Structure 1
Amino acid sequence: MKPTPGLLISAPTSGAGKTTVTLGLLRALVEEGLAVQPYKSGPDYIDPAFHRVACGRASFNLDSWAMDGTLLDAIAAEGQGADIIVAEGVMGLFDGAMGRGVSGNGASIDIARRMGWPVVLVVDVSGQAQSAAAIALGFRYLGADVPFAGVILNRVASPRHERLVRSGMEAAGIRVLGALPRRSDLTLPERHLGLVQAGEHDRLDALMADYAALIRAHVDLSAIRQAAAAKPRSMSQPLALPPPAQHIALAQDTAFSFTYPHLLTAWRRMGAQIMPFSPLADEAPAHDADLVWLPGGYPELHAGRLAAAYRFRAGLCHHAKTRPVYGECGGYMVLGEGLIDKDGTQHRMAGLLGLVTSHADRRLHLGYRQARLLAPVAGFTAGASLHGHEFHYSTIVEQPDPPLADVTNADGELLAETGSYRGHVAGTYFHLIAPDAV
């Protein structure tokens, strides 16, 4: 099987402009008539939603810490039928966990290496000129076993600045694929977990068009297309992850939106019926659901509305009397007795767990997680080992229920955030990416 050629868009650091370049490339290539398959390296829900808006195809995460090689190849095979793949890296090219995961340490270089996708390095050249070449040369040297397509210069201050930077790159033998001028008007708004979600923008499509125009004006798209490549591989197994139930009521709105696309795609292909509902619209879960799943998101921004969503809470409580309910991160918080917002006001939640959480005392909890379940939950038996990650600022005020799992970080250290369960209801701060040995 001839794989679809691809590129990995990476950078030396976070904040260098990877997302802007990726979104602009996706839309610009689509405007040239290409079918473009996007991917995101690492654990991220928000960027893939922007990718989909930019190019019209679902974007999937590829994570070498949480996924084994079989699952990585199966997800990469979703790009078959596209003309080109554009994958967005996470953090800096070599940044990953200290402890090794299933097939790597979670760094973007793992994905480029496995797939054979050449790296395009986005370099923020503000505050430097010829010295930027030393950075690019170092990245090419450290990743010598991965094809290096070249660099896209970002935040170029003037034509003279561009000439100086280009001269340094030329002297170092680094190919410059484009140079983007500094544009403060083309930034995406952010909040504490990253970018504001795609569904919250009222002019997102127009912004994608602006990004594409920027890329077309300042990047050599022909060179980008020619640089794309991939390793030959045998036919991959189709994406297959057993669904947690046959009929799944899935909360989906701006308060509950953090669900990995590869999970939903796999569940649907294996015959599960996903039945979306909106707690913010005060909708109850489907009465014939086998499982209610509350994913993560931003319930703390909508705590008052959720506290007043009586039909939602009543439907959830009715379901929990006889059938399982599961919540991840934000969904876990909503299953508890109360949620304290950043102003210190406590809002009543579903009360299906004794959990009380607070955003008044913000503390960052971030990193890969491995969980060994102490009780059955969401289609997994007690003793099952799951890979995922945690990313939140809330703290636990009360957690009287039994722990759901032994949870460790990437270094194997036990953590206090164990999740909890009561009857048919369970939840955890842990976001599932994949079970062991997929």
Structure 2
Amino acid sequence: MAMTEGLLISAPASGTGKTTVMLGLLRALRDTGLAVQPFKSGPDYIDPAFHTAASGRASYNIDTWAMDDTLLGAVAARAAGADICVAEGSMGLYDGVATRGQAGFGTSAETAALMGWPVVLVIDVGGQAQSAAATALGFARYRPDLPFAGVILNRVASPRHERLTRMGMEAAGITVLGALPRRGDLKLPERHLGLIQAVEHPDLEAAIASYAAFLTENVDINALRQAARGGAALPAHPLPQPPAQRIALARDAAFSFTYPHLLEGWRAAGAEILPFSPLADEAPDKDADLVWLPGGYPELHAGRIAAAETFLTGLRSHAETRPVHGECGGYMALGTGLIDKDGTRHAMAGLLGLVTSYEKRKFNLGYRRAVLDHGMPGFAVGAALRGHEFHYSSIIDQPDAALAQVFDADGNPAAQSGSWRGNVTGTFFHLITGEAS
């Protein structure tokens, strides 16, 4: 059985408008009556929630660096029942991590080739016309085996600008699937990790409807639909297994970054997910086997977290006898203190000695491979995990024992080892999967 046909929306670089094109296309296709399955190429935590809002179906990450073929097949199988898949690339089409001797390992191009989905390249043509065709031609020919559907011209200044740019594309033999006039209201709100979260957008539904109308007016939706293709299906295997039977999962604007395929796998295996909100001062379920604090934006809500006595008391009580795990922002909330961007220190749970600061910003970004020196929920000592780290916090103090030996995508040691104390563990990377033993 072939993989559901689809397309991958990419660009020469970040900041070209591919996310707004993606959201508009998802909704425009859905409005024609199609069941549209979204995916995100790479480890992004934020975009999938926007995809879900636009398409009405849960969006999943496809990550060719972190996932082996069995997990890739399990994630790809989420497209069952869909009429078309639309995946959003990350960074530029050929930007990845230079390992395995390949300059393109972990790229959006690799995702497109693996799934058999032709690439639609979104090109910002501001400041150029026929020259944009040279960019498109280079991307189309850089990897000859990669299926290439054509381009969408973005930020077109005038009808004359569009005509000249199309002339260049025609001369280069590049199909133009649409041309989007320049509009200032198409930019999604951002903050230091990129886009704001979907739940924080002041009027997300109206924005998506506007993007869809704009795409429908200026892009040949039928031609896009006809360009979709699919390759051979990957072997389908179960998604990752749950780390416990009853999992209390923090879920609100401060704690929201958990990969969708993990939660899907936990539920599929029969685990019970028990959401609670630290920002609403809710304690984790007292009968939970495990408390899991995902990443998010605790630095924006540090005062509320510090004042959430019901939450903190319940968390500390749970940690006396049962495991607690935190990732990135959740890890910081388990520590002794969090210093916000204004230099104010807020007391956190105190279950670990970790003290972090956003006053002293340090950019931490990249894939992580961790080999555990101490067990954590779902994984024993010696287990190898794959994940992704993205934050701006600095460690002021970390007195507890290291949780793991952590390496970047090229195998170089990474500074953030995570830590543990008693029943409590934490990492700065967000877990994607454990490696098969």
Task: State the TM-score bracket (shorter-chain normalisation).
Answer: over 0.9
Note closer, same or farther for the CA distance 1:28–1:178 as it changes in structure 2 (3 Å cut).
same
| 2:244 counterpart of 1:220 | no
- Work out whether residues 293 and 331 of structure 2, in 8 Å CA contact, stay in contact via their aligned partners in 1: yes
Secondary structure of the residue aligned to 2:255 is coil
Give the aligned residue type for 1:39.
F
- Work out whether residues 284 and 311 of structure 2, in 8 Å CA contact, stay in contact via their aligned partners in 1: yes
Post-superposition CA distance 1:352-404 (Å, at most 9, x none) = 00010000011100001100001010110010000111100000000000000
Query: Structure 1 stretches of 5 or more lacking a match?
Result: none
Secondary structure of the residue aligned to 1:38 is strand
Q: 2: distance between equivalents of 1:232 and 1:436?
A: 24
Note closer, same or farther for the CA distance 1:101–1:9 as it changes in structure 2 (3 Å cut).
farther
Q: 2: distance between equivalents of 1:256 and 1:302?
A: 10
Partner residue, 1:75: 75
Aligned-pair CA distance for 1:270: 0.5
Give the aligned residue type for 2:251.
Q
Partner residue, 1:377: 376
- Work out whether residues 90 and 108 of structure 1, in 8 Å CA contact, stay in contact via their aligned partners in 2: yes
Q: 1: distance between equivalents of 2:143 and 2:163?
A: 26
Q: 2: distance between equivalents of 1:100 and 1:341?
A: 39
Q: 2: distance between equivalents of 1:379 and 1:4?
A: 32
CA RMSD of aligned residues (A): 1.2
Q: 2: distance between equivalents of 1:198 and 1:407?
A: 31
Secondary structure of the residue aligned to 1:383 is coil
Note closer, same or farther for the CA distance 1:98–1:3 as it changes in structure 2 (3 Å cut).
closer
Q: 1: distance between equivalents of 2:188 and 2:58?
A: 20
Aligned-pair CA distance for 1:101: 10
Q: 2: distance between equivalents of 1:306 and 1:262?
A: 28
Q: 1: distance between equivalents of 2:391 and 2:100?
A: 23
Secondary structure of the residue aligned to 1:390 is strand
Name whichever of 239-248 and 56-65 sits farther off. Answer: 239-248
Q: 1: distance between equivalents of 2:233 and 2:414?
A: 39
TM-score, normalised by the number of residues in structure 2 = 0.98
Q: After TM superposition, list the pairs within 5 Å mapping 1:356-395 onto structure 2.
A: 356-395=355-394
Q: 2: distance between equivalents of 1:144 and 1:27?
A: 31
Partner residue, 1:20: 20
Partner residue, 1:8: 8
The percent of aligned pairs where both chains have the same amino acid is 68
TM-score, normalised by the number of residues in structure 1 = 0.98
- Work out whether residues 239 and 261 of structure 2, in 8 Å CA contact, stay in contact via their aligned partners in 1: no
Partner residue, 1:259: 258
Number of residue pairs matched? 436
Aligned-pair CA distance for 1:288: 0.5
- Work out whether residues 101 and 410 of structure 1, in 8 Å CA contact, stay in contact via their aligned partners in 2: no
Q: 2: distance between equivalents of 1:348 and 1:233?
A: 50
Give the aligned residue type for 2:178.
G
Name whichever of 1-10 and 191-200 sits farther off. Answer: 1-10
Q: 1: distance between equivalents of 2:411 and 2:33?
A: 47
Q: 2: distance between equivalents of 1:100 and 1:397?
A: 35
Give the aligned residue type for 2:324.
V
- Work out whether residues 116 and 231 of structure 2, in 8 Å CA contact, stay in contact via their aligned partners in 1: yes
Q: 1: distance between equivalents of 2:85 and 2:32?
A: 14
Task: Report runs of 4+ in structure 1 exceeding 6 Å deviation.
Answer: none
Q: 2: distance between equivalents of 1:149 and 1:416?
A: 42
- Work out whether residues 367 and 391 of structure 1, in 8 Å CA contact, stay in contact via their aligned partners in 2: yes
Post-superposition CA distance 1:272-321 (Å, at most 9, x none) = 10000000000000001000000000000000000000000000000000
Q: 2: distance between equivalents of 1:327 and 1:101?
A: 34
Q: 2: distance between equivalents of 1:370 and 1:116?
A: 28
Partner residue, 2:398: 399
Partner residue, 1:55: 55
- Work out whether residues 38 and 57 of structure 1, in 8 Å CA contact, stay in contact via their aligned partners in 2: yes
Q: 2: distance between equivalents of 1:85 and 1:108?
A: 15
Give the aligned residue type for 1:94.
Y
Post-superposition CA distance 1:66-90 (Å, at most 9, x none) = 0011111111111121110000000
Partner residue, 1:169: 169
- Work out whether residues 64 and 101 of structure 1, in 8 Å CA contact, stay in contact via their aligned partners in 2: no
| 2:209 counterpart of 1:205 | no
Secondary structure of the residue aligned to 1:76 is helix
- Work out whether residues 100 and 410 of structure 1, in 8 Å CA contact, stay in contact via their aligned partners in 2: no
Partner residue, 1:113: 113
Q: 2: distance between equivalents of 1:261 and 1:3?
A: 20
Note closer, same or farther for the CA distance 1:15–1:88 as it changes in structure 2 (3 Å cut).
same
Partner residue, 1:268: 267
Post-superposition CA distance 1:47-83 (Å, at most 9, x none) = 0000000010000000000001111111111112111
Aligned-pair CA distance for 1:154: 0.3
- Work out whether residues 65 and 101 of structure 1, in 8 Å CA contact, stay in contact via their aligned partners in 2: no
Secondary structure of the residue aligned to 2:253 is coil
Q: 2: distance between equivalents of 1:396 and 1:14?
A: 29
Aligned-pair CA distance for 1:239: 3.4
Secondary structure of the residue aligned to 1:177 is strand
Partner residue, 2:354: 355
Q: 1: distance between equivalents of 2:83 and 2:411?
A: 41
Partner residue, 2:294: 295
Aligned-pair CA distance for 1:2: 3.5
Give the aligned residue type for 1:377.
M
Secondary structure of the residue aligned to 1:281 is coil
Q: 1: distance between equivalents of 2:371 and 2:287?
A: 30
Give the aligned residue type for 1:144.
P
Note closer, same or farther for the CA distance 1:66–1:149 as it changes in structure 2 (3 Å cut).
same
Post-superposition CA distance 1:192-234 (Å, at most 9, x none) = 0010000011310010000000100000011000000001336
Q: 1: distance between equivalents of 2:399 and 2:200?
A: 35
- Work out whether residues 66 and 101 of structure 1, in 8 Å CA contact, stay in contact via their aligned partners in 2: no
Q: 1: distance between equivalents of 2:237 and 2:15?
A: 35
- Work out whether residues 73 and 233 of structure 2, in 8 Å CA contact, stay in contact via their aligned partners in 1: no
Aligned-pair CA distance for 1:430: 1.1
Partner residue, 1:429: 428
Give the aligned residue type for 2:187.
T
Partner residue, 2:341: 342
Q: 1: distance between equivalents of 2:194 and 2:27?
A: 22
Aligned-pair CA distance for 1:177: 0.1
Secondary structure of the residue aligned to 2:263 is helix
- Work out whether residues 65 and 100 of structure 1, in 8 Å CA contact, stay in contact via their aligned partners in 2: no
Q: 2: distance between equivalents of 1:120 and 1:239?
A: 31
Q: 1: distance between equivalents of 2:233 and 2:400?
A: 48
